[in-house]
Homo-oligomer: A and B are copies of this chain.
Amino acid sequence: MRAKTWVFVAVSLDVYIARSNDELDWLDTANGQITPGEDCGYAAFISNVDTIIMGRGTFDKARSFKEWPYGGIPVTVLSRTLTKAPAGSPSTVTITDQTPFAIVEELSQSGAKKIYVDGGLTIQRFLKVGLIDELIITTIPVLIGGGKRLFGELSSDARLGLVSSASYSFGFVQSHYRRIA
């Protein structure tokens, strides 16, 4: 069975995932204080992720952090220019230039059940070929007016089912959508 592909992302109300310069400073724009320790479900979400698929941009950003943010989870990086992981990369990193379908197929055959797809362009690329199954989108109560968009062009409408939606006392709204086959 094909692994399910998941998006778990925070967006501004105008649906940007980052400013043009990649800054995420707007992410903590809350109505009052964010409940201490509240991670909006991220730890529960990531706890049973088999593999993370991301683009080169997200990979480079993750490498720039003091601590590699994905622990021991296998990470597949999409790149047309890299042929192998740069020196110093975690041993969990694999570089590939395969298509989304080929990657998901291969991971599924290796037993993957829950794949986390991350990074704006990568998410758009997977959505375009109908390869995103579940989206958990957390909307921050702020308009930032420009930046990197979560969604891009599609060749046809993508209908989604709303699985659940809930709001936090500090003004975030989290909605879970599922692809309608």
> What is A's interface to B at a CB cutoff of 8 Å?
13-15, 26, 29, 31, 127, 137, 139, 141-146, 150-162, 164-167, 171-173, 175, 177
Q: Once the chains bind, are A157 and B31 in contact (CB under 8 Å)?
A: no
Given A160-B13, A173-B173, residue A143 in contact with residue B167 (CB < 8 A): no
Taking CB atoms, residues of chain B closer than 8 Å to A177 are 13, 141
Could you say which of B13, B151, B164, B173 contacts A143, with CB atoms under 8 Å apart? B151
| Residue contact B158 to A167, C-beta cutoff 8 Å | no
Oligomeric state, in copies:
2
Known interface pairs A151-B14, A165-B165, A165-B167; A144-B157 also in contact (CB < 8 Å): yes
Distance between Cα atoms of A150 and B14 in the complex (Å): 8
The reply to whether B26 and A157 form a contact with Cβ atoms under 8 Å apart is yes
CB <8 Å contact, A160 and B146 = no
Residues of B within 8 Å of A141, CB to CB, are 159-162, 177
